[in-house]
Amino acid sequence: MKTSLNSNRRQFLALSGIAIAGATLGAAAPATAAAPAAAEKPVTNADEALKRLMEGNVRFVSDKTIDPNQTTARRTELAKGQKPFATILSCVDSRVPPEIVFDRGLGDLFVIRTAGQVIDKAVLGSIEFGAAELGIPLIVVMGHEKCGAVKATIETLEKGAKAPGAIEYLVEGIAPAVEAVKGKSGDMLDNAVQANVDISVATLKKSTILAGLLKAGKIKIVGARYDLDSGKVELHSHAE
């Protein structure tokens, strides 16, 4: 009887081990991979580029992002070369990352960021390079609600003071926008943010390289404002 019990016990343990192993293997088996998203058509002009950006922002605002072009395959593909479809000149503010705001991925955007979108020779040269050498059809200058750089400029000018170190360079770059909205109705900070974008757009249009591409209809330059509360990007300068 004891031999029979031991034999039954061994058989039970053996069968249990197989069952447990099977269950473990089943749990470890990878889920079926999702079908890859359909490849996007190449952007051929500024209007298509702007449409793609704004569609991405709608997804971001509605919390329905698809995080495109962030795969290993995309990274490998881009090692051969890049073809971004839009240049974004925006503020360095950590709350306004263009790739996230527009729900884009690797190789999509040519991003340049400075406090208050202040333009210097390096910034201008980078934008010119993107348009002339990479064939980027769209340039977006994007300011944002409650911009700290613009606010600091307003406060510095009101005190008749100078900002410390190289921050003064930023104040000098944003000051024309603040001066342009003095005495206007509405919120001074928001007015200055918009004026700052408009002045930056006008500055870019004075570039010999960009002016030539504009005249040839190869690029458009657009001003925009990002709302920190809603996440929405609104265009407020005419595309040209």
CATH number at residue 143: 3.40.1050.10
Is 133 among the domain residues? yes
pLDDT tens per residue across span 94-130? 999 999 999 999 989 999 999 999 999 999 999 999 9
Is 32 among the domain residues? no
Which pLDDT score, from 0 to 100, does residue 78 have? Answer: 82
Is 228 among the domain residues? yes
Annotate the chain with three-state secondary structure. CHHHHHHHHHHHHHHHHHHHHHHHHHHHCCCCCCCCCCCCCCCCCHHHHHHHHHHHHHHHHCCCCCCCCCCHHHHHHHCCCCCCCEEEEECCCCCCCHHHHCCCCCCCEEEEECHHHCCCHHHHHHHHHHHHCCCCCEEEEEEECCCHHHHHHHHHHHHCCCCCCCHHHHHHHHHHHHHHCCCCCCCHHHHHHHHHHHHHHHHHHCCHHHHHHHHCCCCEEEEEEECCCCCCEEECCCCC
Is 11 among the domain residues? no
Q: What is the pTM of this model?
A: 0.82
Which pLDDT score, from 0 to 100, does residue 3 have? Answer: 47
Is 37 among the domain residues? no
**pLDDT of residue 17 exceeding 60:** no
What number is the average pLDDT over the span 181-210?
97
| Overall domain count for the chain | 1
Segments forming the whole domain that contains residue 75:
46-235
